[in-house]
Structure 1
Amino acid sequence: MFVTITFVTERIHMSTTHTPPLTARAVWLTLIVVLLADAMDLIDSTITNIASPSIAADLGAGDGVIKWLGAAYALALGSLLVLGGRLGDRWGQKRTFLIGMAGFVLASAVAGLAPSSAVLIGSRAAQGIFGALLIPQGMAIMAATFPKPMLQKAFAVFAPMLGVFAVAGPILGGVLIDANLFGLEWRPIFLINVLLGGVALVMAIAFLPTVPPHPAARIDALSSGLLVVALFGVLFGLIDGSGSGWSAISVAAIVVGASVFAGFVRRQTRTADPLLPRTLLANRGFTAGLAVGLLVFAGFSGLMYVLSLFLQLTLEYTPTQTALNLIPLTVGIMAGSGIAAALIVKLARRLVAAGLLAIMAGIVVMILLLHTTGLDLTWWQLAIATLLMGIGAGICFSSIFNTALGDVSPEEAGSASGSLSAVQQVANGVGSALVTSVFLTLLPSGDLTAVTATLAGLLALIGLCLLAVPLLPKTAVADVD
């Protein structure tokens, strides 16, 4: 969601046939539909941070459910996001959007009514699959149909609203669980999508403009299949092995996934329609941005999950108390994003370094507070640490990808942006699962040991990213011209 907008819109305007610009009324109705879709995505990607302990307890499931609630959604979405964008080009963005929205609503209903953890995790994966059809289409439709002045106004509304949705996920989850509506406990956090998605679906049918499809757009099914299998194999093995011990199954999954990925790379060097232009992979600044983005998003998503578990399992906060205590984190993200928007062109990769240092400072403050107060943290002490982390993360979320695209040509920017967005989704899933596994594995050694050791590991991970900053491009692009 924090991927550069300008480059995506330039590619879409260059590649689509002429579409009559919309009226002001149609622009705002379209924007509402797209915002509803993105709200569902952002809320669902964060809402289980608060809900997972309640879900696991209600279903009588173990730690595996906590790991896979977020991972199943993010991995399915991330591994299919690039393909979803290609399918929209070929079938038409509106048709693909409607299919994605209808499927997302149905999968949400199944999740809300799930009788077992297996059904719940399967429905979360289905949400991710249909989300991969849904999410790429909204921005493409806006870029292809909005008059340029209205497009800039729409983006001015779009960015801060994404921050609001990021804040709303954990808060909404905590409130709904503690409210226990109709005795349904955690289930309304998924069933609410039936209401939101139903409204969005009706509005999309009525108001979403139609962009002509491109039937000639080619989709390399073999490359797409190899990439999906490779990602699933490696990530399943890492997540399963880190939490359940390195069994033969987890090791075999990693080996198979890595082998299939080698086949994917080989295919990309030979096919006439690679998923990524070959010149992109040779671009040092872009590949460095991919690597740094992967580590930062993985580390931060894991950090949010562990903080939520720590507050609920160790400090015994209610879901609502947990959500309220994480507000400084999300406020910091919004503030950091604003800082990045103002300074990204001037500072470029130096801004990335500043964001990483702010995250590290927040983690260090948290570790020091834990060692000096034990488990007797006050709300304002926690707020100082999490606000610092959030500001650093907000800066990084915008500046890493904008800097990574600094040396990318306009012709390659669409594929580059799609790849960065996919990396973000995959990182969210694997980060939350792996870091949660570490925390839960260490928990028998003591609550304080578990949280401080996990934070120390994340500190080292962010420090590793800092070492890679000099490899990023020296210039960056702005979000909106």
Structure 2
Amino acid sequence: MSDSYADDVVLSAAPGQVSEPLGPPPYAWRWVALWVILAAEAMDMLDALVANIAAPSIRAELGGGTSVTQWLGAAYALAMAVGLITGGRLGDVVGRRRMFLVGVSGFTVASLLCAAAQSPGVLIGSRGLQGLFGAVLIPQGLGLIKEMFHGREAGKAFGMYGPVMGLSYVGGPVLAGWLVSADFFGAGWRMVFLINLPLGLLALFGGWRFLPESGRTAATRLDLVGVVLASAAALPVVFPLVQGRELGWPVWVFVSMAAGVALFGLFGWYETRTARRGGDPLVVPGLFRKRAFSGGLATGAVLFAAVAGFSLVLSLFLQSGLGATPLEAGLAVLPWSAGTVVGFVVVQVLDGSGALDRLGRGLVQAGVVVMTLGTGAFALTLQLVGARVTVWHGAPALVVIGLGMGLVMGPFFHTVLAAVEPHETGSAAGTLTAVQQLGSALGVAVLGTVFFSVLGGQVAGAADTAAPRALGSAGMTGAERSALVAALRECGRETAESRDPATPPGSCRRLTDGPAAEAGRTAVRLGYAGTMKITLGAEAGLLTVTLLASFLLPRPGRTRDR
């Protein structure tokens, strides 16, 4: 009997005869189809991250102010958040294979439009189109995996899905930095989008050839009122999270989020009412009575907040604080990727020995604890190294963080979707990925706000303490040294608070060479290191909340509350 459906079919046999499965055999091309899904999902995840790395080159060629940098990411995130729940349900109604092909096709065309853009407006609009088709694409992958794999094979398949997502988070900046720096065919930043063309075509062919036709579900039509309500609720929540920090958190931001929460309440009421009347709701209300799913949503929201927020502040620390190029910053986070791979291998070994089912949520919790320990190790490293910090000093801690992330991601998606029924799969996948997107926006907003709120003071304080010693050792004394220290303090504060780091403030113009320049670099390194330590404390707080939320997941062996 095959592992792939051992938990889902009944066997019968007469005495002395070999047992035969009563259910259908497993899909023959399921493992090839899995790699098609993973490749398409990775392409989508990478594009969520690469634009930030390419943004300086984009502005240099196309022009535009700091808002261009903000909207390159915001347009994608907002379109994705608005469309995810609808995209997931479309797979139930129309067919997951069909919607996967639509999503890949549209995403590839939108990538070509991004690469061909000749103005910031066209590029931002094309990024929004990418996000919309990504919202159609992503939920289908989860649904198809659950449809093709059963029993222990489902755990293996979902165990590969999680680490691929994690590696995409980490590998996106590496790929973007390399493509921009290599300047293939003189395309510069356009290569971060052109790379999607061969990948998209391969995914399109692979999806057409190897993905199975979706089985029929009870859903027969799309809940259009639910689509409007879900979209109207998502936008006023995600937009303030994406743009609030850049705008200084004005009052209307919080009013907007409150209105979005109220609309989600209205959406929930309408969906429950639709289900009671025998209709096809956009989100199946019964999902939230499954402990694995509802607990997974809570855990996933905070987990992805911690991962996305940390990715942002680490990039800021390496590039703005330590002066690394995009490629150097990308290479510096490779230890994070290596740790994630090790964690994934550990999960697979546990699964092969049968221990994974016994561990259940305990493995997720162990992974969160390991991530927290790695975060503490990073902060301790910064404390011990001080102004001598380089991009490689954090490598050991990043390996530990990656190890914990692999332990969490490996079993996470299988645990959350284990009890979801076939007719609920699209709705569940869309809701789970929407919450993931919301959590990522929340993490960027929270940790980004913490980072920038303390950065100016930390750099200015470092200038007060480190610069006098550096200037004194260079033989500079008296009024000249005091004037330069004051200039360094002002330059550090303005640089830290600037929303356009590519343009040095006027206070920095006299500090470009000599002892003042070296003292300034020392102050910046110390200031950013101090800021990073404080932000890592906030990261540890998010991971602690993730650990507490994980207790909402069912215990091992508890299937009734799944």
TM-score scaled to structure 1, two decimals? Answer: 0.82
Residue 497 of structure 2 corresponds to none
Shift of 1:311: 0.9
1:354 to 353, 361, 366: 366
Shift of 1:30: 4.4
1:85 to 57, 79, 88: 88
Map 1:239-278 to 2 at 5 A. 239-272=242-275, 273-278=280-285
Q: Distance in 2 between matches of 1:401 and 1:73?
A: 23
2:402 to 374, 383, 390: 390
| CA distance 1:463–1:159, shift in 2 (3 Å) | closer
Query: In percent, how many aligned pairs have the same letter?
Result: 39
The Cα RMSD (Å) is: 3.8
User: Is 2:333 the partner of 1:326?
Assistant: yes
Instruction: Output the amino acid matched with 2:533.
Output: T
Q: Distance in 1 between matches of 2:333 and 2:159?
A: 26
Residue 96 of structure 1 corresponds to 99
Residue 421 of structure 1 corresponds to 433
Answer yes or no: is the 8 Å Cα contact 1:33–1:200 preserved in 2.
yes
Residue 230 of structure 1 corresponds to 233
User: Residues 95-136 of structure 1, C-alpha deviation per residue, up to 9 Å, x if partnerless?
Assistant: 322322221112112222334444433322211211122233
User: Is 2:195 the partner of 1:192?
Assistant: yes
Q: Distance in 2 between matches of 1:412 and 1:209?
A: 16
Q: Distance in 1 between matches of 2:536 and 2:44?
A: 27
| CA distance 1:19–1:145, shift in 2 (3 Å) | farther
Instruction: Output the amino acid matched with 1:339.
Output: V
**Counterpart secondary structure, 1:269:** helix
User: Residues 210-264 of structure 1, C-alpha deviation per residue, up to 9 Å, x if partnerless?
Assistant: 4466696232221222122212101212332232123354234223312211211
Residue 385 of structure 2 corresponds to 373
Answer yes or no: is the 8 Å Cα contact 1:75–1:430 preserved in 2.
no
Question: Which entry has the higher C-alpha Rg, 1 or 2?
Answer: 2
Answer yes or no: is the 8 Å Cα contact 2:110–2:126 preserved in 1.
yes
1:311 to 313, 318, 343: 318
Answer yes or no: is the 8 Å Cα contact 2:158–2:414 preserved in 1.
no
Could you say which structure has the greater relative contact order, defined with CA pairs below 8 angstroms and 6 or more residues apart?
Answer: 1
Shift of 1:386: 1.0
Instruction: Output the amino acid matched with 1:475.
Output: P
Residue 466 of structure 1 corresponds to 547
| CA distance 1:334–1:53, shift in 2 (3 Å) | farther
Q: Distance in 2 between matches of 1:477 and 1:381?
A: 43
Q: Distance in 1 between matches of 2:112 and 2:359?
A: 46
Shift of 1:193: 0.9
Residue segments in structure 2 that go unaligned for 5+ positions in a row: 10-22, 460-527
User: Residues 197-216 of structure 1, C-alpha deviation per residue, up to 9 Å, x if partnerless?
Assistant: 13433454566554466696
Shift of 1:333: 1.8
| CA distance 1:274–1:72, shift in 2 (3 Å) | same
Q: Distance in 2 between matches of 1:278 and 1:358?
A: 34
Q: Distance in 1 between matches of 2:147 and 2:371?
A: 37
Answer yes or no: is the 8 Å Cα contact 2:219–2:423 preserved in 1.
no
| CA distance 1:112–1:437, shift in 2 (3 Å) | farther
Residue 297 of structure 2 corresponds to 290
Instruction: Output the amino acid matched with 2:330.
Output: A
Answer yes or no: is the 8 Å Cα contact 2:170–2:311 preserved in 1.
no
Q: Distance in 2 between matches of 1:262 and 1:375?
A: 50
| CA distance 1:206–1:291, shift in 2 (3 Å) | closer
Between stretches 412-421 and 145-154, larger displacement belongs to: 145-154
Q: Distance in 2 between matches of 1:397 and 1:173?
A: 24
Shift of 1:300: 0.9
| CA distance 1:345–1:175, shift in 2 (3 Å) | same
